[in-house]
Amino acid sequence: MNGFEWGAFAVNLAWAAAAALGVMLVTFVIAVRKGLHRVVDVAWGVGFTAVAVVTCVASAGGGDPGRRYLVTALTAVWGLRLAAHIAWRGRGHGEDPRYEKLLSKASGNRNLYALRMVYLLQGALVWLVSLPVQAAQYIDGPLSGLAVAGTAVWLLGMFFEAVGDAQLARFKRDPANRGRVMDRGLWRWTRHPNYFGDFCVWWGLFLIACDSLGAAAAVAVSPVVMSLLLIRGSGKPLLERHMAERPGYAEYVARTSGFFPRPPR
């Protein structure tokens, strides 16, 4: 196993927190001016990209350059694609019902409530989930087979996420599909190809950090947290509750995997 720069990594935790917080605070200002808190969803991918870039700069002269550039590029490609997709999907729409429901609970200033319950929370999650991206950049020694495996898992995730999003967007553009359930392409194999893609992306990035056993042990919580968010938290369950009353959805659930891809029943 390769060495790991614990001291430099500890300092980087503060830089990464500042980067994540900075993105969320700027987004908060934009959201208040627009009167739309749904823009925070765009900041999710941007925040991870900012953390990766800041860490790459901070780790210069420390970790292996190949690993630093690899993990930064993979994170930026994933984060910026996701941000662009969400921004394009949300153009012309009003507030997201999720945030309307959340803000209806505010007893005082709705914007300050959103700052506490949405922006600061998401900034903390960006910092936590990005720990493998940060740690990988402070590992010395050349890339190993684990990094190759991690990149392959990341590629699988990007395929499912990007292709699944494109297939769904094309399906929704056809007026004949209004009110129907998307059950074609990757959506025949899993009800959530985009969430499964996210799952693979973050386990792939974690594998790249596994070139150091100590670093891997320190940041293993991150892909676990992301997996729980996708499968048990704000991902799959929230969307399925929203879709539950749509005609044909119960039949779709009966024949299609809930998360991990498999042939339809």
Asked whether the predicted pLDDT for residue 177 surpasses 70, the reply is: yes
Domain count, the chain: 1
Q: What pLDDT score does 1 carry?
A: 58
What percent of the chain is modeled with pLDDT above 70? 100
* Containing structural domain, residue 182: 6-255
Residue 254: pLDDT band (50, 70, 90) is: very high
Closest CA to 189 of 158, 160, 149, 217: 160
| Mean pLDDT estimate for the chain | 93
Asked whether the predicted pLDDT for residue 250 surpasses 70, the reply is: yes
What percent of the chain is modeled with pLDDT above 90? 79
Q: What pLDDT score does 244 carry?
A: 82
pLDDT tens digits, one per residue of 193-229: 999 999 999 999 999 999 999 999 999 999 999 999 9
Cα–Cα distance, 182 to 94 (Å, whole number): 23
Is residue 150 one of the residues assigned to a domain? Answer: yes
pLDDT tens digits, one per residue of 48-98: 999 999 999 999 988 999 999 999 999 999 999 999 999 999 888 888 888
Is residue 261 one of the residues assigned to a domain? Answer: no
Which pTM does this prediction carry? 0.93
